[in-house]
Structure 1
Amino acid sequence: MGSPNDASKMASAAEMLDRFGVPHTTQVMSAHRTPDAVVAFAAGARAEGVGAVICGAGMAAHLAGAVAAQTTLPVIGVPLSGGLADGLDALLSTVQMPRGIPVATVAVNGAANAAVLAVEIFAVADERLGTQLAEFRAAGAR
């Protein structure tokens, strides 16, 4: 996430990943304040065993795009509410990526859905997760 202040809005991603038994880490880094850390993380993520990256950021929301520019892993952007447009600015910044550098984007404050999307990506090659997803959906996906 782009700021420690985003922790409450991003907590549901970790909760959902925990629910599916998907290991994860949480980091705070900013495309603007700590760009070198973002580049180092994104460039080395695949080698560290990361399977997908969920990025939550508000306002200018360049974090997901900055990460996507440095990795070929799936990047899922979570635009966060706040600022002048209460998340619309973050949504547009996250979804409007140049050709060849995609960022999957969920709803404003949609961290839980970002985690479900990551699980769906992993379930392509993990039958256990596929079964869990089917059960999750059958139970009402909550």
Structure 2
Amino acid sequence: MSEIKKPKHPSEIYIRSYPKIIFFWPLLITSFILWIIEALSTDPEISGVLGMVWFIVFFVNIFITAFDFSSTKFFVLILAIVIILLLVVFLVPGLFANLGGLRIDLTLTWQFYVVMTLILAFILGIVIISTRFEYYKVERNE
């Protein structure tokens, strides 16, 4: 009996184009996880920390989609500096003590996380479905 062998290389390749909104999948996952944590949490202190985490992920997503970077090193350097600054501002409580008691309160409710999860899941789902119908097919020329 002879077995049919699969070709070593594919005979066709599908190329799909995704819009920049596809980069928001980390925010979708973060919103979903923070929704569960916030819904199950009984500690009111954790809401502010979760809000800070959400805003940091949101900032990183907006930063990535806003600029087209030609050099990965430049992008990583700028992003690392900004993340470190955000972490210092949000996680060092006495940093703004000398500014007249300025306090950053980024408390978000579980309802906010649910709404953001649903909005992002809806939009990303439509994007994924629409790319199933819009693609380029590259075939071998023998």
Give the TM-score, by structure 1 length.
0.24
Q: Which has the higher helix share?
A: 2
When Rg is computed on C-alpha atoms for both structures, the one with the higher figure is 2
Give the TM-score, by structure 2 length.
0.24
